[in-house]
Amino acid sequence: MTSTWLITGGAGYIGAHVVHALTRAGRRTVVVDDLSTGSAARLPAGVPLETCSVLDTVALADVMTGYDVTGVIHLAAKKAVGESVDRPLYYYDQNVRGTASLLEAMRATEVRRLVFSSSAAVYGVPPAGPVTEFTPTAPINPYGTTKLVCEWLIRDAAAAQGLSWLSLRYFNVCGAGSPALGDPGVANLLQLTLRALTAGQRPKVFGADHPTPDGTCIRDYLHVADLADAHVAAVEALLGAGGLAEYYNVGTGLGASVLDVLDTAREVTGLHQPYEFTARRPIDPPEVVADPARIAAELGWKAQHDLSAMVESAWAAWEAPVAATA
């Protein structure tokens, strides 16, 4: 019998890509989303959507029972770093209490498989060199802290409830699997750059004096379609073995500087606005690049898209009329 996976936040930018990838892999899904940032139009035909909050434990349990759910992919969360600094209580409520609510619903319905959407933000300002799963966790903002607290919560609940779980620590996600699934937000570097270029404005560069080859921050950028495939690999692992309790970095292992991203965006779009350099921000680590060796060795996953593919897909979605509403 085909298993059914509950995807919280499945109508959002990343969530919809995960649902599409699981559907292509032959997995049944049901989506729970409060549609505060998601859209039903993003979902594949035939995928059921239950509109409710992850804070509603009873509603979650009803969905798990009603759809005979085998496992959960928990993506529903607030994720804007700046907003988390301004509204830490809101982030703890939505992210930590939301995860506790989900775990309680899983306990009540005896659902024992969980994939958690975590973040490289749990590492804060890591030491120089590739970031492994054993790099110390020391988040520097409330968003990163809530993700780390959720990991602790899952670890402890798993020990008590007999859960099998995997935590995927995403690095810098961008791009689009199709124009209709583009990122509707304008918060990450690539989206901010596309907005500036199309408006005839100068893209901003925060700091040109970092200890990096060109003086700008270096990050590990990951195509959202590759990230979605990592979730499929995680589901297969959880279905294939019990007692899993692991953390995985999900990245390419390759760093790109701010100027690399801006230069690629100018090349792809044909819009050649000059940069505007401004002071560096204290919240920006100079370099954060994943070591993805563990997920490659244990789950058989490896990123397939390079930076040019990410920018090209993001630009196609930016230009598409459906991108703003899908």
- pLDDT for residue 61 is more than 90: yes
- pLDDT for residue 234 is more than 90: yes
Catalytic hit among 143, 170, 221, 247? 143
Rounded CA gap, 283 and 323, in Å?
Answer: 31
What is the biggest distance separating any 2 CA atoms in the chain, rounded to whole angstroms?
57
Name the band, by pLDDT with cuts 50, 70 and 90, for residue 167.
very high
What are φ and ψ of residue 172, in 5° steps? -90, 100
Rounded CA gap, 170 and 168, in Å?
Answer: 6
Residue among 14, 178, 13, 21 nearest 5 (CA): 21
What are φ and ψ of residue 119, in 5° steps? -155, 150
Write down the pLDDT at residue 326. 34
- pLDDT for residue 324 is more than 70: no
- pLDDT for residue 322 is more than 70: no
299 CA to centre of own chain: 18
Rounded CA gap, 113 and 102, in Å?
Answer: 12
Write down the pLDDT at residue 235. 97
- pLDDT for residue 285 is more than 90: no
Asked if 143 is an active-site residue, the reply is yes
Residue among 52, 140, 165 nearest 101 (CA): 52
Instruction: Give the tens place of pLDDT for each residue, 237-270.
Output: 999 988 999 999 999 999 999 999 999 999 999 9
Instruction: Give the tens place of pLDDT for each residue, 94-146.
Output: 999 999 999 999 999 999 999 999 999 999 999 989 999 999 999 999 999 99
- pLDDT for residue 65 is more than 80: yes
Domains of the chain: residue spans and CATH = 4-173+221-250 (3.40.50.720), 175-219+254-290+300-324 (3.90.25.10)
141 CA to centre of own chain: 17
Rounded CA gap, 213 and 232, in Å?
Answer: 36
